[in-house]
Amino acid sequence: MILSLFGRDGDTAIVTGAVPNVPSVVQATLAAIGQTQTQVVVIQSKTAMATTQAPTQTLIPTAIFTASPVPTLSSTPTVAPLVYYFPPTATDKPEPEEEPVPTFLPTFTFTPTNTPTNTPTPVPNHLVLYFGAASLGNIGPRSSADALCTANLPSGFSNYHAFLGYSALDRIANMPANYGLPTGLPIQSVTNVVIANNWTDLMDGSISVALNAAGVSPTYNWWSGAEDEFGTHLDGITPDCNDWTSNSGADGGNEGNRSSTTAAWMDVGFGVACNQLIGVLCIAY
């Protein structure tokens, strides 16, 4: 179009490439346009070559592990189902043509086992002076003398001791302090004859009823080991068959008289030979 402005031979000139009548400025313009097109093509080519598709990265999710909760064990109560019986109401009556179904209730029988029997222990309201056994002078220690009291122990009593003096510390007079005998209760025989009203009355030198009359010792006098009527014992002085170890006629032990109600009931006043068989009395409380 630009070349046609410069003559009618412009088309031929363009085709042949000879443009004699074209000003130099136009030629320069054409050359610039041609050069520009070549650069555009080069730029496009370079642009096409430089364009690359970046790969799409897919993020891999991070696995998160959660620990399973630890089960907590708890005791499961054992529940025994209760059995209920509901009698039919008026609306639950069967149709006339139906036979009523009988209902049977189970019968439970409970038999208690190992049921403790609480039998109250009677509290004695008196002390009992009774005959334990007959023995020579070698009665033995306190435990042996007490063992002689078990055979004739009165019913209802669980505590007992031989009514016998062993030493100044273990004498008849201080048996309440040593063995817990109650001092405020009356002293009786097994036949309930009152011998003394209380412990002080028993130790005052006399008794209300002689032992043979009360049924305590109807046959034998008894070993007392007492120095006097007050239940005293003097170590090394009071005759006691060498601490109740001897059954020799050469040794002696003090005795009480079953027929007396005065001082002799506990101390006759002289020792009897240790080879003599006489009684050992006991007291239960």
For residues 243 and 169, is the Cβ–Cβ distance under 8 A?
no
pTM over 0.75: no
Q: What pLDDT is stored for residue 25 in this prediction?
A: 53
The 3-class SS string of 224-245 reads CCCCCCCCCCCCCCCCEHHHHC
Q: What pLDDT is stored for residue 8 in this prediction?
A: 45
Per-residue pLDDT tens listing for the chain (285 residues) = 454 544 444 444 444 444 445 455 556 655 665 565 545 444 444 443 444 454 455 455 554 545 555 555 545 545 455 444 344 555 555 555 555 555 555 555 545 556 555 555 567 899 999 999 999 999 999 999 999 999 999 999 999 999 999 999 999 999 999 999 999 999 999 999 999 999 999 999 999 999 999 999 999 999 999 999 999 999 999 999 999 999 999 999 999 999 999 999 999 988 899 999 999 999 999
Q: Quick one: tokens of 217? A: 């010792």
Q: Is the dihedral of CA 140, 141, 142, 144 positive or negative?
A: negative
* Listed residue (157, 94, 141, 135) closest to 255, CA to CA: 135
Q: What pLDDT is stored for residue 270 in this prediction?
A: 86
Helix (H, G, I), strand (E, B) or coil at 32: helix
Residue located via tokens 């109560």: 77
Per 3-state DSSP, what percentage of the chain is helix, strand, and coil (rounded to 5)?
A: 25, 10, 65
Q: What pLDDT is stored for residue 187 in this prediction?
A: 98
- Euclidean distance between CA atoms 157 and 187, whole angstroms: 13
Q: What pLDDT is stored for residue 42 in this prediction?
A: 44
Q: Quick one: tokens of 132? A: 């334990």
Q: What pLDDT is stored for residue 13 in this prediction?
A: 43
